[in-house]
Amino acid sequence: MSRAAKIEDVASRAGVSVATVSRALRGLPHVSQKTREKVLRAAEELDYRPNPHAARLAAGRSGAVGVALPVLNSWFYANVLAGVEAVLAEEALDMHVVVVDGPDATERFIAGLPALSKRVDGLVLCDLFMPDQLWEDLAGGPVPVATVGVDTGLFDSVTIDNVAAAEAAVGHLLDLGHTRIGLIGAGPDGATDNESAALRRRGTIAALGRRGLDLPADLDVAGSFSVAGGREAMLELIGRGAPTAVFCISDEMAIGAMWAAEEAGLRVPEDLAVVGFDDQPVAEAVGLTTVRQPVSIMAARAAHLVLARLDGDDGPVQRHVMPTLLQKRKSTDFRHLTPVHAHS
């Protein structure tokens, strides 16, 4: 009985390195079409069947990839985990989840990296808000890293243009004629302090500024990434003197804002226009205008980037910016105002 073909046999038959064979079979970048076809042909001729467990043991790897994120109980982060897990499952890899919920937890996370690196082969970091020095410390760490939602320039990253997306959302409200626009953003507590929130706030201010408006303190409220957080923040805004429109940096918060508006006797969109962010399935059900972002796809791409580095890809840092789309629905569909034009 002949022995089963190994990856080294495929590499020898194709005349390429083992790392190139691994990248070609995964469909990863940095492999020419000609080389990929040559590897696939060699694998077929040898009836090669990958054994991921054996490959990792031979390489001295743990067979797990870590995922660090600020919270677990949100649609966004659940979809990040689902996107990463789908990729890892295809490679028979495990996922190790770490919650980094604030400055103290961030410092503990960095300090614990030497120990963590013995349990994981790579890391996907999602929306972590860290000082530059901590990012630099992480860059000197022992395992490859890819980020979701944050682009430091130090690691492979998969992001969206949060500033532009927020500008589009607030610009839509301005186009409808709203001038008293509130922002329900993220609070200073660790569980909600993240890079994406900061960038969406920047985009809000930029969109208002182009029309000669600002974001007054009484319309700038922070909350947690939850329905309850959005409801509480909206009730606070109403108590200060309700805006005619509000941009919420997540769909959960926007749904909470709509709930609060109903409690206060405000009609959406006649009395209050509401825009969210994410385009969760429930957004369509409640008619929420929102920014759509491909969360699971972003997370999956980040996982692939980590695996590529583990396979020997030593190319330059890859920075992927995924598209977003403003999905207009009935929560803003009320045209009784005059559009606000750009300030000259």
pLDDT tens digits for the chain (344 residues)? 467 788 788 889 999 887 788 777 766 667 788 888 898 899 888 888 766 545 554 455 678 899 999 888 888 999 999 999 999 888 878 899 999 887 888 888 888 888 888 889 999 999 887 778 878 878 877 889 999 998 999 999 999 999 999 999 999 999 999 999 999 987 544 344 567 888 999 999 999 999 999 999 999 999 888 899 999 999 999 999 989 999 999 999 999 999 999 999 999 999 999 999 999 999 999 999 999 999 999 999 999 999 999 888 888 999 999 999 999 999 998 655 555 666 65
Find, among 198, 195, 252, the residue nearest to 228 by Cα: 252
The pLDDT score that the predictor gives to residue 131 is 78
pTM score, whole prediction: 0.76
Q: 183 and 245 in contact (C-beta within 8 Å)?
A: no
The pLDDT score that the predictor gives to residue 93 is 85
Which residues 6+ apart lie within 8 Å of 129 measured at CB? 70, 106, 150, 193, 194, 195, 198
The pLDDT score that the predictor gives to residue 260 is 97
> What ranges make up the beta strands (E) of the chain?
64-69, 94-99, 122-126, 145-148, 156-160, 181-186, 220-223, 245-248, 273-278, 289-292, 319-322, 325-327
Which residue's structure tokens are 């926007």?
254
The pLDDT score that the predictor gives to residue 202 is 94
CATH superfamily of 63-160+294-323: Response regulator (3.40.50.2300)
The pLDDT score that the predictor gives to residue 101 is 82
The pLDDT score that the predictor gives to residue 72 is 84
Is the CATH number 3.40.50.720 carried by domain 7-50?
no
Q: Do domains 7-50 and 63-160+294-323 have the same CATH topology?
A: no
**56: which 2 tokens?**
């990792």
Say which DSSP state 218 is in: G
Find, among 278, 189, 290, the residue nearest to 233 by Cα: 189
The pLDDT score that the predictor gives to residue 2 is 64
Which residue's structure tokens are 């995922």?
67
* CA angle, residues 301, 303, 306, in degrees to nearest 5: 115
**Domain boundaries along the sequence of the chain:** 7-50, 63-160+294-323, 162-292+326-332
CATH superfamily of 162-292+326-332: Response regulator (3.40.50.2300)
Say which DSSP state 339 is in: P
Which residues 6+ apart lie within 8 Å of 275 measured at CB? 169, 170, 172, 173, 245, 246, 247, 248, 254, 288, 289, 290, 291, 331, 332
The pLDDT score that the predictor gives to residue 342 is 65
List, in sequence order, every residue forming a beta bridge with 320; answer none if it has no partner: 158
The pLDDT score that the predictor gives to residue 190 is 35
